[in-house]
Structure 1
Amino acid sequence: MKYLDEFSDPELARRLFDDIHATVTRPWALMEVCGGQTHSIIRHGIDQLLPEGIELIHGPGCPVCVTPLDTIDKALEIASRPDVIFCSFGDMLRVPGSGRDLFKVKSEGGDVRVVYSPLDALRIAQQNPDRQVVFFGIGFETTAPPNAMTVYQAKKLGIANFSLLVSHVRVPPAIDAIMNSPDCRVQAFLAAGHVCTVMGLGEYPELAERHRVPIVVTGFEPLDILEGIRRAVRQLEAGEHTVENAYPRAVQAEGSPAAQAMLADVFEVTDRAWRGIGMIPASGWRLSPAYRQYDAEYRFSVTGMHTEESTECRSGEVLQGLIKPHECEAFGTTCTPRNPLGATMVSSEGACAAYYLYRRLATPDAAGTAGTREGVTSLG
């Protein structure tokens, strides 16, 4: 296949569904790690078209959603300062902190700017030498290399008024933490293809072997996801637990050595708190000592901030796969995209946003086919 629309071909999807139906003999629970995969699954009704008993559990694969509340509050504190130009991708501006968000800071006079690359923020720093310019660096292994490169360039060019507020997290330790949870029901993982384009497959075989779970690396289009599910189900039915690459057009086993070298130079692995989940050992990055002068937390002395999560928002349970978004009492009532209680409702990759956007408020019917509720879409 050469064109993107071919990865949504209903006839090819039907064949994959038929294969999955013919293979399954018992219930299985699979977790898709990436929020982009979650949106594709819900948008196309993939979970409702699977055999009865096959459950897709939505994992903590949205970097906006897992950015902890105290980090958001640090961003708000820094962005409120008159000498600061605070730069961020647009999806962070609506994420609620303890009492406001970056849009609110902007409306109060803060210089908050949406950029499309961390290098845009570096250019702003060059153009405004009398101002401090901060870029909000969040994300999984996919966005970490360009952020690392930007800090590397800042040091190389001697741009002293640029800094990075870091909230980078790593997928393999999160998978390990999920499997170690006493409430875990996950029996197989659909791993995020874009993460593996950077980091390769090297960290996954040990996880698959130790936890005895299949891990299938998949893409984000409907046929990508269905092929990942098909392979995972075949392994489960056969009692196998290996790592498979179902996204070879983008993922190589070794990943990107150049990106990995940049990460190793600029960042160091650290424990990291995940919003709604808690501290996961060795699950994040921070700037290494050689680049510590570009760390916004230290530059603006906000390292000691601590906050409490809302008791009304159950996004932590959603991120852990313990509940579906519509099972939260606040979903669609006191929590909406216009007035979100948590990041999972406002992020473009959040599970709550996917359920709200595609009006997935009903469960599948007994035949396992997509419902007819307005707003539900399905393949074929």
Structure 2
Amino acid sequence: MGSITFEEILDKLKNYDGEEVHIMEVCGTHTAAISENGIPSMLSPKIKLISGPGCPVCVTVTAVIDRLVELSMEENTIVLTFGDLIRVRGTHKSLADAKADGGHVRMVYSPMETVKLAKEDPSHTYVFAAIGFETTTPVYAMVLEEAVKENVKNLKLLTSLKTMPEVIRWVVKNGGGIDGFIAPGHVCAVTGSDTFKELSDELGIPFVVSGFEGKQLIMTIYALLQMKGKSGIKNLYKNVVTEEGNTKAKEVVEKYFEVSDASWRGMGKIKGSGMALIKEYADFDAGSIGLDEDHMPPGCCCASVLVGKLKPYECPLFGKTCTPDNAHGACMVSTEGSCYNYFVSGRR
């Protein structure tokens, strides 16, 4: 940041009195870090922070949940998933509801557990809910690599894998008004910071790659304020992110997955915004194709929250009938969800 001190940056952000600036973070972990560090209270009212579609659980459509619920009720099938997804409701029920009704649902803590479980129990088909962005897709590719190596044929993946650039383009073109993006550090660690260069040039909007510490996020917001009205990529997370990214991770992803269209909660199908298993490994697919329908609970505003059209507290259910203990929408379920983070931090 040149010769300016951090204290001077804080002062400039707190007392900024220019045109309103709208900055979107597109990573659920950034949303959580911004709330945990109390960053909104350090900014001028003219600097608006907007949470974007960066929580993988939040953007998963109900058709995916419905398919997992359906599979869990099959006699010889066991659905494996991470914790947050268990409580997200599909059209009629969540995986937690399915388990209470006798469905076979098991939580795992590591993706590699899935290969071990399937190998040790060939009498059951194990279906792993492979949900995520560019950050976790390489791990799912490694699961497949291990399953192929160990000749495990009773493990399948139900995939709902998303990629960032196309959804950011969609948000800008369908919402507009974004002056800068806090680029997702974990995603860029895999893809490289250059993954957003073409998009930045096309949209004329700056991207700053950030880590997750409060101080770095403050510096990121200041950098975006300085870059307002210009295109360009600035990397403030150089100890983790390079321009080209993790080439080995990208190679293993390309071995098992290919670019596909993907359906996003509240946004419909976005061309080229997902990853799907290539035909050679179609036997590992648990029925991921065509899962496009999305049925949100009555009154739920998750669709508008995810694209920054509404703040979480502007949803009529927020903090009333929808709380972390009784979540109606996916944004209140996940610890990376914007509604959850606004609620637990008392953010307004």
SS, match of residue 106 in structure 2:
strand
Cα deviation digits, residues 303-360 of structure 1 (max 9, x gap): 5674533341100100000010000001111212222111100101000001111122
Aligned residue identity for 1:223: K
What is the aligned partner in structure 1 of residue 186 from structure 2?
Answer: 194
SS, match of residue 287 in structure 2:
helix
Aligned residue identity for 2:295: E
SS, match of residue 112 in structure 2:
helix
Cα distance, 1:24 vs structure 2: 6.0
Q: Give the TM-score of the pair, scaled to structure 1.
A: 0.87
CA–CA distance in structure 2, aligned partners of residues 13 and 90 of structure 1:
38
CA–CA distance in structure 2, aligned partners of residues 304 and 326 of structure 1:
30
CA–CA distance in structure 2, aligned partners of residues 305 and 73 of structure 1:
11
Return 5+ residue gaps in structure 2 as ranges: none
Cα distance, 1:28 vs structure 2: 0.7
* Percentage identity across paired residues of the two chains: 37
What is the aligned partner in structure 2 of residue 275 from structure 1?
Answer: 265
Cα distance, 1:241 vs structure 2: 1.6
CA–CA distance in structure 1, aligned partners of residues 156 and 297 of structure 2:
30
Q: Which of 215, 219, 237 does residue 211 from structure 2 map onto?
A: 219
Cα deviation digits, residues 98-125 of structure 1 (max 9, x gap): 1211111122222211111211011000
What is the aligned partner in structure 1 of residue 46 from structure 2?
Answer: 53
SS, match of residue 134 in structure 1:
strand
Cα distance, 1:240 vs structure 2: 2.4
Structural RMSD (CA)? 1.7
Q: Give the TM-score of the pair, scaled to structure 2.
A: 0.94
Task: Please give the residue correspondences for 1:311-326 in structure 2 after superposition, counting only pairs within 5 Å.
Answer: 311-326=298-313
Q: Which of 6, 10, 25 does residue 17 from structure 1 map onto?
A: 10
What is the aligned partner in structure 2 of residue 88 from structure 1?
Answer: 81
Task: Please give the residue correspondences for 1:167-182 in structure 2 after superposition, counting only pairs within 5 Å.
Answer: 167-181=160-174
Counting matched residue pairs gives 344
Mapped pair 1:37 → 2:30: yes
**Maintained 8 Å contact 1:272/1:279:** yes
**Maintained 8 Å contact 2:29/2:336:** yes
Return 5+ residue gaps in structure 1 as ranges: 1-11, 363-380
CA–CA distance in structure 2, aligned partners of residues 305 and 39 of structure 1:
28
Task: Please give the residue correspondences for 1:68-217 in structure 2 after superposition, counting only pairs within 5 Å.
Answer: 68-181=61-174, 183-217=175-209
CA–CA distance in structure 2, aligned partners of residues 353 and 305 of structure 1:
25
Which stretch of structure 1 is more off in the superposition, 34-43 or 348-357? Answer: 34-43
What is the aligned partner in structure 1 of residue 344 from structure 2?
Answer: 357
**Maintained 8 Å contact 1:266/1:291:** yes
Cα distance, 1:35 vs structure 2: 1.2
CA–CA distance in structure 2, aligned partners of residues 248 and 112 of structure 1:
40
The structure with higher relative contact order (CA 8 Å, sep 6+) is: 1
Aligned residue identity for 1:344: C
CA–CA distance in structure 1, aligned partners of residues 307 and 113 of structure 2:
34
Which stretch of structure 1 is more off in the superposition, 126-135 or 23-32? Answer: 23-32
Aligned residue identity for 1:342: G
Aligned residue identity for 1:271: D
**Maintained 8 Å contact 1:272/1:280:** yes
Cα deviation digits, residues 178-230 of structure 1 (max 9, x gap): 1111x322111001000000010222111111110011111112112111111
**Maintained 8 Å contact 1:23/1:234:** no
What is the aligned partner in structure 2 of residue 247 from structure 1?
Answer: 237
SS, match of residue 297 in structure 1:
coil
What is the aligned partner in structure 2 of residue 3 from structure 1?
Answer: none
Cα distance, 1:283 vs structure 2: 0.4
CA–CA distance in structure 2, aligned partners of residues 38 and 232 of structure 1:
17
